[in-house]
Amino acid sequence: MTRVVVVTSGKGGVGKTTTSAAFSSGLALRGFKTAVIDFDVGLRNLDLIMGCERRVVYDLINVINGEAKLTQALIKDKHCDNLFVLPASQTRDKDALTEEGVEKVLKELEHLGFDYVVCDSPAGIERGAVLALTFADEAIITTNPEVSSVRDSDRILGILQSKSRRAANGSDPIKEHLLVTRYSPKRVEDGEMLSYKDVQELLRVPLIGVIPESESVLQASNQGTPAIHLKGSDVSEAYTDVVARFLGETRDLRFVNYEKPGLIKRLFGGK
């Protein structure tokens, strides 16, 4: 059985695509045959984050319209042999994305033996965002510790619970996971930022991880390398933990407590 996981948030710029890239790579690194689909028709970016923008020939809409075979459109990832990227269309109108079309593509991915399909949702609550979550079995709600992001996440939770296929046919609800991103333990300690506990208390969704605010995310996107591959960085470790927890392992939360820099660190700088 293929599991469909949507990475969603409502608000833009909170780290959906960064998370989709890192999370799908993490699943592939753990040996699962994984596909990651960009649902942001007209504003595709997953290809850039995954570093495969120059290899895009066909896209999701081409497959839906029958202009290309799914196997022609899937781009093999440069880091993982068992990871494939399905880019969004850059030129087509959003209306080209249909529920039947998406369902057909997901069914075909299942026939191809994929273990996981990660759907990178566009921002907002319109067609693309709704279709990205329609067929989901699990959802990663990406949230920044910031008022507008928390509110929009709550809105998306309502949509998951009302508009998804699982909600429509009354089967088990989508399994929801809260991922707090761009987290700054120091600002939380100073009372300037909502803590992950606050966010979780507000949204009432089980926490799957906390990704610290980090310079490595920009470094990763500059190179078109999913952040999970930046060995030794806190972001890479945090995403690795998220994948492990998703697969049912227990991992303590890391990078959530602020450690005051010691004297030597303060004198000589460094991280």
Catalog residues that contact other proteins under the rule CB under 8 A.
Answer: 146-147, 150-151, 154-155, 158, 188, 190-195, 198, 202-203
Shortest distance in whole angstroms from residue 189 CB to other proteins: 9
Shortest distance in whole angstroms from residue 210 CB to other proteins: 15
103: CB partners within 8 A, 6+ apart: 135
- 57 vs 147, beta carbon nearer other proteins: 147
Shortest distance in whole angstroms from residue 190 CB to other proteins: 7
- 108 vs 154, beta carbon nearer other proteins: 154
Which residue in this structure is represented by tokens 């709600």? 141
Dist CA 57 CA 52 (whole Å): 11
Buried b (16+ CB within 10 A) or exposed e, 78-115: eebebbbbbbbbbebebebbeeebbeebbeebeeeebb
- 188 vs 227, beta carbon nearer other proteins: 188
- 151 vs 245, beta carbon nearer other proteins: 151
Tell me the one-letter amino acid at 10. G
- 174 vs 193, beta carbon nearer other proteins: 193
Shortest distance in whole angstroms from residue 9 CB to other proteins: 15
- 158 vs 173, beta carbon nearer other proteins: 158
Shortest distance in whole angstroms from residue 201 CB to other proteins: 8
Contact assessment for residue 83 and residue 37, using Cβ atoms and an 8 Å cutoff: no
What region does 156 belong to: left with phi over 0, alpha with psi -120 to 50, or beta?
alpha
Shortest distance in whole angstroms from residue 81 CB to other proteins: 43
Q: Phi and psi for 69 in degrees, rounded to 5?
A: -80, 150
Q: Within 13 Å, how many C-alpha atoms sit on residue 226's CB side?
A: 31
Shortest distance in whole angstroms from residue 10 CB to other proteins: 12
What region does 113 belong to: left with phi over 0, alpha with psi -120 to 50, or beta?
left
Which residue in this structure is represented by tokens 């952040």? 227
CA 191, 124, 11: angle at the middle one, nearest 5? 15
- 106 vs 130, beta carbon nearer other proteins: 130
Contact assessment for residue 17 and residue 46, using Cβ atoms and an 8 Å cutoff: yes
